[in-house]
Amino acid sequence: MALNYNQSKPTVSYLPTTAPITIMRESTSTSLASSTAASSPAPPPPMPLGIQSAAAIEGMILQSAKIRLGRPLDQTFFLSVVAGIWLGFGAIGALSAACGVPQSVRTEWPILPKFLMGAVFAFALHFIVMLGGELFTGVIMVFGVGWWNRAINVPKSLVNLVTVYIGNWCGCLIMAYFMAYLTDIFDDPSSRQWLTVATLGKTNGHGWGILFLKGIGANTMVCMAVCLYLGCSDSAGKIMAIWFPVVVFVISGYEHCVANMFFLSVGLLYGAPTTIARLWFNQSAALVGNMVGGAIVIGLTLHLMNHWVSPLDWAINKIKGSSEEK
């Protein structure tokens, strides 16, 4: 007997039974996705066009630290001398602008020579960052970020820092003697008077603690300028990002150890009544303050912004662990 499969096969359609299941699965997955999205933290908003995030800036600084440690020391020394020379050009322009303000105007508007000095001196950092050079105060911040991330060799980085410091001194002394002193740029009475007052204010005007605090402020602003420079994508933005923090540091009267290498040397060469011992008194305080400003105020802050570990969460987990053991 032949079986008629068309007649014996049930005429029940599978579509009505499978379709609701499919729809139910889709709705279930949608609800799960929505509940997960609601419970999980929202992703950070996108950065504006042309601006890098703090995490990206930290990554660039870490890469820069590794590149610096990969260079031979003689190249590092050369770049440090170059940075001192670039700084000297900016400092000569800054001093020329400040000394050019008449004494009567300085008395009425004491902020004016400071502002002119800061506005021109910012170009020293433009030369170094955009053309090339190793500035001690900037390298402090770069290696500081590397130290906090445990990404670089500490002894090797300290040797690099000493090399950069000596090279900066060499470059600043070259510029102070050959380009500022032998050229008689500041040989007029007005310039000599301003140089004397400025030099004595730095070497004899304050105690070590005040100079130390001023050193923190100086390198905080300089390293902030470098971070803002890294955070910008176009050249115009980078130039403006460097300019403002440097102007703030100069008009505030903060102490920058590399800038003082040049300024105090020029003051001594032009006969300011102070001593080399007082120069090193200023230099030691500014140096330590600059290290704190670069490695801690900027370096540690940047690290914590991207790698925060809450001590409160650690304490709560510690208490929970102790209670569970009991």
Q: What is the pLDDT of residues 126-159, one digit of tens each?
A: 999 999 999 999 999 999 999 999 999 999 999 9
Distance between CA 222 and CA 13 in Å, rounded? 77
Residue 36: inside a domain, yes or no?
no
Alpha helices, DSSP H only, in the chain? 5-8, 15-39, 54-70, 73-99, 103-108, 111-131, 136-148, 154-174, 189-203, 208-231, 235-251, 257-269, 276-291, 301-306, 311-325
Q: How many residues does the chain have?
A: 326
Residue 121: inside a domain, yes or no?
yes
CA-based nearest residue to 272, from 169, 176, 183: 176
CA-based nearest residue to 270, from 84, 83, 105, 92: 92
Q: What is the pLDDT of residues 75-86, one digit of tens each?
A: 999 999 999 999
- pLDDT, position 103: 87
Neighbouring residues of 103: CB distance < 8 A, sequence distance ≥ 6: 190, 193
Residue 320: inside a domain, yes or no?
no
Distance between CA 66 and CA 319 in Å, rounded? 40
Range of the domain at 232: 54-305
Q: Return the exposure string of 39-61: e unless at least 16 CB atoms fall within 10 Å of the residue's CB, then b.
A: eeeeeeeeeeeeebeeeebbbbb
Burial of 282: CB neighbours in 10 Å, binned 0-12, 13-18, 19+: buried
Residue 314: inside a domain, yes or no?
no
Residue 38: inside a domain, yes or no?
no
Residue 27: CB atoms within 10 Å? 10
Residue 63: inside a domain, yes or no?
yes
- pLDDT, position 42: 55
Burial of 136: CB neighbours in 10 Å, binned 0-12, 13-18, 19+: buried
Residue 325: inside a domain, yes or no?
no
Residue 15: inside a domain, yes or no?
no
Q: Provide the token pair at 269.
A: 């060469």
Residues 158, 160, 162: CA angle, nearest 5 degrees: 70
The whole-number mean pLDDT for each consecutive block of 10 residues of the chain, a chain of 326 residues, reads 41 38 39 42 59 93 96 98 98 96 90 95 95 97 97 97 99 98 94 94 96 98 97 92 96 97 97 96 98 98 92 76 65
- Structural domain total, the chain: 1
- pLDDT, position 8: 41
- pLDDT, position 320: 73
Distance between CA 162 and CA 169 in Å, rounded? 11
- The CATH number of whichever domain residue 187 belongs to comes to 1.20.1080.10
- pLDDT, position 150: 95
pTM: 0.82
